[in-house]
Amino acid sequence: MEKKKTNNTPCSSAYGISNIADRIPTFKAVLFDMDGILYNSMPNHAVAWVRAMKDFGMHFTPEDSYATEGARGVDTIRVFAKKQLGKDLTEEEAQKIYDVKTRYFHELPVAPIFDGVVDLMRKIKSAGLQICIVTGSGQRPLFKRLVDDFGEFIDEEHIVTAYDVKRGKPNPDPYLMGLKKCGGIKPAEGVVVENAPLGVRAGVAAGCCTLAVNSGPLPDEVLLAEHPDALFSSIRELNDSL
């Protein structure tokens, strides 16, 4: 498997990321992030975040939406409210703001599936591996869309959302939950595919082999700083490398 860039992480040493295609039998599941990996939805999220946070007196930039992607939305809101407003919001108070952000998001055009996603999932399924989607999102309509779009590969039991964990990314909890939903497999048997710095950090912390895909505007160095096992420019490049 050709890689764009790699880091010498323990997982890389153990599996030999350069020949991961040959080591697929050692894995049992691939755990995908949702936004920025399956869907080209991050531009819409950026617009919705900026607008909603402004409504509640907070300054939030498109870059902030990429830098905080993967964390639970309520956690992001509470952090920004503390820093900018000096307020310790409850989870319920943060949820009200997140609900506004969700409404703005669903007023925007539907984000398309990235080129290469379906081909990659078919390749994974044909190799006998499970597929799980692990998102920090709390937007319930998106969960239904996942099953509608990828029902050939997943069911509702193979989706991890913000409601499944108390600690979101960058903590390892979402990916550990994904491993649990895949039958309690070991971290070494899972491959994480992520586009966000916090998500990459979560995958690495969970002990999974973690592949980063830079589908957004962040410099490669921001993702590489989180020590993924390989970095790709697109899902299509990742698929074609296998």
Catalytic center residues? 33, 35
Sequence letter at residue 186:
K
Residue in the block written with tokens 């939406």: 65
| Residue 230: C-alpha distances to residues 166, 173, 211, 224 (Å) | 29, 22, 5, 8
Q: Are 35 and 69 in contact (CB under 8 A)?
A: yes
Alpha helices (H) along the chain? 10-15, 42-55, 62-67, 73-85, 91-106, 117-126, 140-150, 173-181, 197-206, 220-224, 235-241
Residue in 35, 33, 40 with CA at minimum distance from that of residue 109: 40
Residues ≥6 apart with Cβ < 8 Å to 240: 116
Long-range Cβ pairs for the range 124-128 (8 Å, 24+): 124/30, 124/153, 125/152, 125/153, 127/24, 127/25
Report the SS3 class of residue 138: coil
What the block records as the tokens of 113 is 């599936």
Q: Are 76 and 68 in contact (CB under 8 A)?
A: yes
Preceding omega of 62 cis (within 30 degrees of 0): no
